[in-house]
Amino acid sequence: MKTNLNIDSLRKRYLAGDLKPLAVMQDILARIGDDPHHVWIHRLSLAEIGNYVTALQDKDPSTLPLYGIPFAIKDNIDLAGVPTTAGCPEFAYVPQQHATVVQRLIDAGAIPIGKTNLDQFATGLNGTRSPHGACRNAYDADYISGGSSSGSAVAVALGLASFSLGTDTAGSGRVPAAFNNLVGVKPTRGWLSTHGVVPACRSLDCVSIFALNTADANSVLSVATGYDEQDAYSRQMQAHGFDFGRAKTFRFGVPRAEQLQFFGNQQAAALFQRSCDALRAIGGTAVEIDFAPFLDAARLLYEGPWVAERYAAIREFFDTKAQHINPVVREIIAGAKKFSAADAYSGMYQLEALRKEAVSVWSRIDCMITPTAGTIYRVDEMLVDPIRLNANLGYYTNFMNLLDCAAVAVPAGFQENGLPFGITLVAPAHQDIPLLHLAERLLQDAHAPTETMLTGRIRVAVCGAHLEGLPLNHQLTSRGAHLVARTQSSADYNFYALPGGPPFRPGMVRVEKGETGSAIEVEVWEMPAREFGSFVAGIPAPLGIGTITLGSGEQVQGFVCEQYAVKDATDISHFGGWRAYLQQKS
């Protein structure tokens, strides 16, 4: 049985004395395997991890808030003695000390597992711009993971770390959270030290946090935050004032309908509206806002002189070894050379004017809700059109650090193809704690309509060899799943015994509208959301995961079959289920 890596669960077991950090680390290393998702650039060996475990041997778990908690580090953040590559092997150097934020986590008892894959030099929101391979989505490996903190997000989603560190300049700590069903914290700029971090845009960069839930995120944030004399951009935390996250009533801004962009993804649009309804259900009043100043600020990040700051970050390397840089990243950074110092001042003047417009918007609301990303793309789509599609991913994220905002990305349900969707809660700087409080209420409230994301668990309807007692049921139980209900689908399906392969391949296909179907026996199992990606990844074509309607009308994730595969299959709908069919066969 896999160890539950939730921070609270691990701490309880450590405090009870029935679990040791070394056993957790051994379990994690066994899970990583051959890394098919391209999560890691450098994995620590058991011996290297053992050094951190040994340092905890004489420590009282109750005195260290992150005692024995495994975490992953984006490979543009220094871990002493391990190469920092920023996704470019030729750029690599070996730091002699930890980044400030890493040191604080280790001092609190956390144990590093390794350095994770990223869009090279943290330039991208998609996770494909790496010489170590495109990092694959935890829920469907054909889709992008989001970036640039790609491996950091997928490591947590796959249960390879309790939390991870990313960076966020233009959305890199939020987009991967949305695409992998995680909480992603983009703190107020300067709250977490960037000393020991390879800069992207140094004046804008943030260290971000990926976590399984808001409680874990808050635990990490409380340890990692703190003023750092070594970081010129470090800031003291300020009191947040009105805690709208715990208030009975609050006002949240929603962009005008014509300013919302889902790039043709109607399911994402519907899930966003459900999230707005969920905020209303917990006391929020929606206020329509003009999103224009935020969009105009977002355009400055890549269309204005801030591109030159990316060039400044790696100027010497770029000027002497540009041939080693990913072609897309090289093209973006090369665009910096067209900007003059006068252009930089012009951009700053434009930004200051937009900040004043944003202040006017904030005077009417406590926080704002946006999609984290309007849609998601397949890896092959992104590789064909890397700049335009990446720009689409930044529609709701690129303005954030330019306008000095804090944000929390929150899971917000699943699309019919089984891929997660996420929203982002936004507020002005130093409102991080109210945002986390609001995110927690949103995820826990029983009246919110997105049950799957609220619980952090996913319900999956199975109809064949995954049924209890049948050969593949272990694929559920080994992931901590438990049986919720034995029931039937709605009477809208045909059920087939598929030809060829092993003898346990049923196919469930929804009938066309107006046609007569059958109710099919299913079992509903519930598993931790972080386990869902690896479960789906093991399902062979022509089977897959889609949305199944139960007899009660409830919709859950479930096994479906592609239509082409039933051409030569045997229709067994009249048996009403796989068990009855197997009994007849025997």
Indicate which residue of 115, 130, 145, 148 is catalytic. 148
Give the Cα separation of 230 and 350 in Å (integer). 30
Write the single-letter amino acid at 367: C
Peptide bond into 148 cis (omega under 30): yes
172 is catalytic: yes
Indicate which residue of 150, 152, 172, 573 is catalytic. 172
Q: Which residue has the tokens 């929203």?
A: 423
| Per-position DSSP letters for 441-475, written without gaps between them | HHHH-TTSS-HHHHHTEEEEEE-STTSTTSTTTHH
Residue 546 β-bridge partners: 558
Q: Are 410 and 417 in contact (CB under 8 A)?
A: no
Nearest-5° Cα angle at 142, 136 to 144: 50
Q: Are 191 and 434 in contact (CB under 8 A)?
A: no
Q: Which of 91, 77, 489, 119 lies closest to 317 in space, CA to CA?
A: 91
186 is catalytic: no
248 is catalytic: no
CB-facing half-sphere around the CA of 480: CA atoms within 13 A: 16
555-561/506-510 β-pairing: unpaired
Nearest-5° Cα angle at 146, 145 to 149: 100
Query: What does the block give as tokens for 65?
Result: 């808030």
Write the single-letter amino acid at 431: Q
Q: Which residues are the active-site residues?
A: 74, 148, 172
